[in-house]
């Protein structure tokens, strides 16, 4: 089949995917599976090969994604239920001082958002934001806007979050390098979120009546940190930092030691994200469950409660892998690769722009990242890029999924409702903040790309 025909099928498939998700409210998993089948048929794939291709795409993606997302969700749930988020926020505030409460909350949010999904993490921090805002006599949006911004930035580029983990599986990218690069850039974006959030808050936003009533009736004593057994900040940081250090050790060993070296293999095992998160879960049993006085049944119940929400995320991520497999097997990916080469469009920029456009069109950062990775897989495979370069491409695609959060994004409604923003004010503030952070994240990624390249 000709290149224009294959590209037309790809565009038609994406348009149908967006129509099903946006217009007809079809669940993302069903929509992606259906579109994958239709694209395979339209591209002329033999009928006998379609189902095996779907199974191969699902299995290849979920082999690593399911474990990482499940373990990450469990770790985040333990921190959530035990009240560790409150301990973290209050200690950061004590370290930085009362005058730097917004910066302290943003720093705490950055750390907390590594193992905790965006929407869950932000909702956990809402009572803490309310408490500090009441003490400072300011509206929640003053402190909450940069907190939400940096949490979403971490969500789209730092494993074990589903979009970037699934994208890494599609591209066969090194999760360790993605973690190091994504986390490093997010640390630099934290002050950007603080500055832009402060700039956007120069104007006063009228609080929604329901939020104003909720905020007025809020009792700071209900803060999660008032739990007598809330884990210390040292415990919470240990649960988050230890797996990160293990992953960095593995990545460093793979970079400095030759292939086949025994020490490199050992460090690679210790630094694999799956092993690192398993260590963190083991530490959670010892450092949190015992200190909380949880029985084994209680601990199991807490961790098990994280799995139902994670299951949906895992299925959507797997469906993204199916779509990517179909695009590759039908030759669409190779056709797009050739088109990008002929157009002389830089691959890094193409990944960011496509992901940003898909994010704006259908709302889900995860779907945008997975779809873009599938579309560009052929071009990336043909480019003979190093492990670091592939990781940078994945991070650039992730930052594309950060920008332009608006009314078709569930995160938009969570942030605006808890901070008391109307739709118009949310577009003026939250949408602007996410887009600026996405652009800045991409700019930093591009700088690293040029240094590496």
Which range is least confidently modeled, 16-20, 41-45, 234-238, 306-310?
306-310
Higher pLDDT, 59 or 227: 59
Q: With bands split at pLDDT 50, 70 and 90, how would you rate the model's confidence at 225?
A: very low
Q: Is 110 left (phi over 0), alpha (psi -120 to 50) or beta?
A: alpha
Residues 161-220: tens digit of each pLDDT: 888 988 998 899 998 899 999 999 999 999 999 999 999 999 889 888 888 887 887 654
Whether residue 439 contacts residue 231, with contact meaning beta carbons closer than 8 Å, is answered with: no
The owner of tokens 């907390």 is: 112
Rounded CA separation 319/28 (Å): 8
Q: Which residues of 102-128 are buried (b: 16+ CB within 10 A; e: fewer)?
A: bbbbbbbbbbbbbbbbbbbbbebbbbb
CB atoms within 10 A of CB 453: 11
Q: What is the DSSP string of 183-249?
A: HHHHHHHHHHHHHHHHHHTTSPPPPPHHHHHHHHT--GGG-GGGSTTPPPHHHHHHHHHHHHHHHHH
Which residues constitute the domain of residue 352?
A: 3-452
Tokens of 220: 């700071």
Cα distances (Å, whole numbers) of residue 158 to 38, 57, 311, 333, 354: 32, 23, 19, 26, 20
Cα distances (Å, whole numbers) of residue 326 to 38, 78, 329: 10, 38, 5
Whether residue 205 contacts residue 411, with contact meaning beta carbons closer than 8 Å, is answered with: no
Residues 242-297: tens digit of each pLDDT: 887 888 788 777 767 787 788 888 888 988 888 888 998 999 998 988 888 888 89
Among residues 178, 289, 180, the alpha carbon closest in space to that of 239 is found at 289
Whether residue 382 contacts residue 331, with contact meaning beta carbons closer than 8 Å, is answered with: no
Segment 18-35 mean pLDDT? 84
**Domains of the chain: total:** 1
Tokens of 100: 């730097």
Rounded CA separation 293/244 (Å): 27
Residues 230-250: tens digit of each pLDDT: 788 788 888 888 887 888 788
Which of 307-321, 364-378, 403-417 has the highest average model confidence (pLDDT)?
364-378
Rounded CA separation 309/173 (Å): 26
Among residues 181, 189, 149, 161, the alpha carbon closest in space to that of 393 is found at 181
What pLDDT score was predicted for residue 220?
45
Checking if the pLDDT of 39 tops 70, the result is yes
Rounded CA separation 208/400 (Å): 30
């Amino acid at each position: 089949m000709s290149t224009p025909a294959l590209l037309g099928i790809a565009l038609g498939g994406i348009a149908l995917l967006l129509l099903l998700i946006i217009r007809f409210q079809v669940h993302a998993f069903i929509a992606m599976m259906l579109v994958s089948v239709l694209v395979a048929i339209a591209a002329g794939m033999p009928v006998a090969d379609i189902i095996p291709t779907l199974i191969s795409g699902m299995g290849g993606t979920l082999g690593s994604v399911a474990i990482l997302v499940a373990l990450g969700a469990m770790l985040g749930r333990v921190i959530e239920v035990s009240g560790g988020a409150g301990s973290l926020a209050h200690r950061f505030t004590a370290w930085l001082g009362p005058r730097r409460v917004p910066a302290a909350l943003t720093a705490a949010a950055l750390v907390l958002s590594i193992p905790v999904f965006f929407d869950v993490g932000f909702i956990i921090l809402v009572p803490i934001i309310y408490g500090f805002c009441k003490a400072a006599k300011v509206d929640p949006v003053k402190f909450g806007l940069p907190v939400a911004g940096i949490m979403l930035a971490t969500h789209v580029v730092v494993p074990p979050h589903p979009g970037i983990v699934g994208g890494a599986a599609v591209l066969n990218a090194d999760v360790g390098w993605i973690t190091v690069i994504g986390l490093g850039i997010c640390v630099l974006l934290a002050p950007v979120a603080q500055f832009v959030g402060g700039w956007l808050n120069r104007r006063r936003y009228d609080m929604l009546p329901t939020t104003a009533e909720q905020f007025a009736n809020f009792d700071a004593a209900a803060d999660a940190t008032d739990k007598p057994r809330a884990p210390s900040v040292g415990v919470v940081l240990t649960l988050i930092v230890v797996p990160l250090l293990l992953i960095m050790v593995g990545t460093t060993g793979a970079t400095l030691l030759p292939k086949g070296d025994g020490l490199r293999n050992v460090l690679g095992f210790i630094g694999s994200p799956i092993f690192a998160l398993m260590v963190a879960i083991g530490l959670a049993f010892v450092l949190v469950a015992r200190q909380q006085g949880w029985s084994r049944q209680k601990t199991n119940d807490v961790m098990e409660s994280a799995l139902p929400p994670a299951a949906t995320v895992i299925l959507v991520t797997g469906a993204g892998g199916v779509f990517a497999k179909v695009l590759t097997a039908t030759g669409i990916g190779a056709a797009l690769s050739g088109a990008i080469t002929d157009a002389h469009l830089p691959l890094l920029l193409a990944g960011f722009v496509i992901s940003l456009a898909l994010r704006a069109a259908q709302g889900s950062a995860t779907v945008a990242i997975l779809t873009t990775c599938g579309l560009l897989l052929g071009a990336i495979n043909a480019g003979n890029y190093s492990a670091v370069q592939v990781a940078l491409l994945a991070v650039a695609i992730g930052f594309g999924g950060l920008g332009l959060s608006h009314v078709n994004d569930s995160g938009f409604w969570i942030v605006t409702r808890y901070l008391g923003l109307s739709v118009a004010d949310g577009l003026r503030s939250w949408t602007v903040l996410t887009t600026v952070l996405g652009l800045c994240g991409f700019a930093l990624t591009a700088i690293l790309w040029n240094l590496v390249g």
